[in-house]
Amino acid sequence: MPYRAPLADIRFILDEVVPLATVAATERFAEAVPDLAEAVLTEAAKLCDTVMAPVQRAGDLTPAKLENGVVRASPGFGEAFKAIAEGGWVAVSAPVEHGGMGLPQTLNMAINDMMSGACLALQLNPLLTQGQIEALDHHATDDLKALYMPKLISGDWAGTMNLTESQAGSDVGALRTKAEPNGDGTYAISGQKIFISWGDSDVTGNICHLVLARLPGAAAGTKGISLFLVPKFIPDADGNPGVRNGVNVVSLEHKLGLHGSPTCVMEYDKAKGWLVGEEHKGMAAMFTMMNNARLGVAMQGIGVAEAACQAAVDYAAERKQMGAIIDHADVRRMLVTMKAEVFAARCIALACATATDMTTATGEDDWRARAAFLTPIAKAYGTDTGIAVSEMAMQVYGGMGYVEETGVAQFYRDVRVTAIYEGTNGIQAMDLVGRKMADGGEAAYRILEEIEAGAEAARGTLPQLAGDVWSAAETLRETTEWLVGQGAQDRFAGAVAYLRAFARVLGAHYHLRAAMAEGGDGPRTALARVYIRRLLPLYAAHLAEAREGAEGVFALTPEALVS
């Protein structure tokens, strides 16, 4: 199952569907000209195909392990990470003043897409570090930035984020980890965190943890949480890893998948830490990292979906059962569905990345609102697509899909967690219909206007497809108007269905753009027809569910549910 980075699709999307040229036209990202973007993406693809993809199975078959308090990475991971670091791939969007390239997140996310398809377990490491770099850049003191950011950007050190505790999962405000002032500007951090991806390893010289903790006298809930930078080794006067801090790995989680990514239970025993941002405002600082990670997780789902789709197509072309199974109608249905879903999810995620870049470049509120609105859709749809496509790939393999030696089940096992972490997809949906609609739905309406305008422009070339997209957008507008007028509980009960409907219509919009870009006749038009005629109609069922409100889901009491 050789993985091939999807360069052609990414190039096409950034040229024709979600143009990178819009970002490159700004002063902030003027260097992101086509030649540079092409060179960066091509080199990243080579790394993915030749360095990362070959260690994918090793990570699954020979998991990371804890030995004498140190996590040992899977075979080949150390060498592969060294290639990532030396190639500057951690630094793509990092600030130039600290050694980064300063390129758009759109390019960075396209690279994360390819890396995730090649080896998700390893890609998690640089993704987390990139998020920490962004959090420090926005919230840390100049001294902390000067010491830590060059090391993180170079890949010499790695970064993690520590939110979850056994009693504090999605309810982060229930955390118990404490921070006591040391009297010298540092703090003693004590507590236990769980589910810490790459919480320890031997592939970098130091590991820097961003840890949420509560100061003495702090308010209950999220308003009393502060954020601290806690290194495994405290840097010495020369900025090199010095004495060991009070940070230890208690154990590694035994997981369904992602075996090559060590997920640690971390113990902090009066570990020395430095405040990041203001006291009691740790969630605001941590959300900088989490928002970066949510888009990155969308790319993880899409990358794995791409790899699973490739594996399924290759197998179907080779497997003989009454002829090649790729010629069977139901197998072909699955394959075209997989490909259409991946394309739609990739477009939505890259559109979100573009909006993020335009926010950085212009500071305009409309771009900021667009990026915020698209983030939960990109995360939920991207990861749902990863799960659905990976499951469908197993189905294409038939009985062999259930046999571990074929390797196809790894895609499903690895990607399943992406719908859970960085905010479950249900929480993403609640965020969409809650905070992201606090503007009365204005951000949603602007996107719907864009979709309808695109459909109108396509009527002369592709009248049926254009009409379907326009009608879907108009129906979605009506439900949006209804949703804005509802109370929180009714919104939340239909939130997942509403998000899925919005993703369906957005996906159709981008498929229609792709079809128009090739003149309404060709393989991308054929794929658009698959999506718009076969998959888009699902939006109507989702909207019907969204408008049912909360009454039905609460009709059964907890006692009735367990009977």
| pLDDT tens digits for range 396-439 | 999 999 999 999 999 999 999 999 988 899 999 999 999 999 99
Whether the pLDDT of residue 510 is over 70: the answer is yes
The conformational region for residue 76 under phi > 0 = left, psi -120 to 50 = alpha, else beta, is left
Average pLDDT rounded to a whole number, residues 298-303: 98
Cβ atoms of 515 and 340 closer than 8 Å: no
**Residues 6 or more apart from 351 whose CB is under 8 A from it?**
18, 374, 378, 506, 510
Given a cut of 90, whether residue 284 has pLDDT beyond it is no
Convert the pLDDT of each residue in 448-459 to its tens digit.
999 999 999 999
Per-residue pLDDT of 428-442, as tens digits, reads: 999 999 999 999 999
Contacts of 441 (CB under 8 A, 6+ apart): 480, 481, 483, 484
Confidence (pLDDT) at 124: 97
Nearest to 69 by CA among 240, 265, 270: 265
Residue 29 has pLDDT above 70, yes or no: yes
Helices assigned H by DSSP within 518-555: 523-530, 538-546
pLDDT of residue 563: 73
Please state the three-class secondary structure of 330-354 as a single string: HHHHHHHHHHHHHHHHHHHHHHHHH
How far is 72 from 262, CA to CA, in rounded Å?
Answer: 9
Candidates 2.60.40.10, 2.40.110.20, 2.40.10.480, 3.30.465.10; CATH matching 158-281: 2.40.110.20
Please provide the size of the chain in residues: 563
Structure tokens at 160: 């993690």
Q: Which residue has the tokens 């108009």?
A: 474
Do 344 and 374 form a contact (C-beta atoms < 8 A)?
no
CA distance 36 to 497: 40
Per-residue model confidence as pLDDT tens digits over 241-277: 999 999 999 999 999 999 999 999 999 999 999 999 9
* Residue percentage of the chain with pLDDT more than 70: 99
State the DSSP H helix or E strand holding residue 47, giving kind and residue range, or none if neither: helix 34-47
What is the Cα–Cα distance from 536 to 495, expressed in whole angstroms? 18
Helices 105-139, 282-318: inter-axial angle, 10-degree rounding:
160
The amino acid present at 155, given as its one-letter code, is G
Give the sign of the dihedral formed by CA 239, CA 243, CA 248, CA 252. Answer: positive
CA angle, 519 as apex, 518 and 520 as ends, to 5°?
Answer: 100
**pLDDT confidence of residue 415:** 98
Share of the chain above pLDDT 90, in %: 89
Rounded Cα–Cα distance for residues 414 and 416 (Å) = 6
Q: What is the pTM of this model?
A: 0.96
pLDDT of res. 174:
80
For the question of residue 86 being annotated catalytic, the response is no
The pLDDT score that the predictor gives to residue 290 is 73
Q: Which residue shows structure tokens 């128009």?
A: 516
Q: Report the Cα 272 to chain-centroid distance in Å.
A: 31
Position 518 confidence tier, pLDDT thresholds 50, 70, 90:
very high
- The DSSP symbol for 401 reads G
Question: How does residue 168 score in pLDDT terms, banded at 50, 70 and 90?
Answer: confident
**Domains of the chain by residue range:** 158-281, 426-552
DSSP state of 169: S
169 has pLDDT over 70: no
Q: pLDDT band for position 1 (50/70/90)?
A: low
Average pLDDT over residues 159-164: 92
Cβ burial, residue 149 (10 Å; 0-12/13-18/19+): buried
Which residues neighbour 110 within 8 Å (Cβ) at sequence distance 6 or greater?
10, 14, 41, 44, 299, 350, 353
Statement: residue 291 has pLDDT above 80: no
pLDDT in tens, 171-226: 777 888 999 999 999 999 999 999 999 999 999 999 999 999 999 999 888 888 99
**Catalytic choice (97, 422, 450, 551):** 422
Least Cα distance to 98 among 40, 45, 157 occurs for: 157
Check whether 347 has a pLDDT greater than 80.
Answer: yes
Residue reference for tokens 């290194």: 231
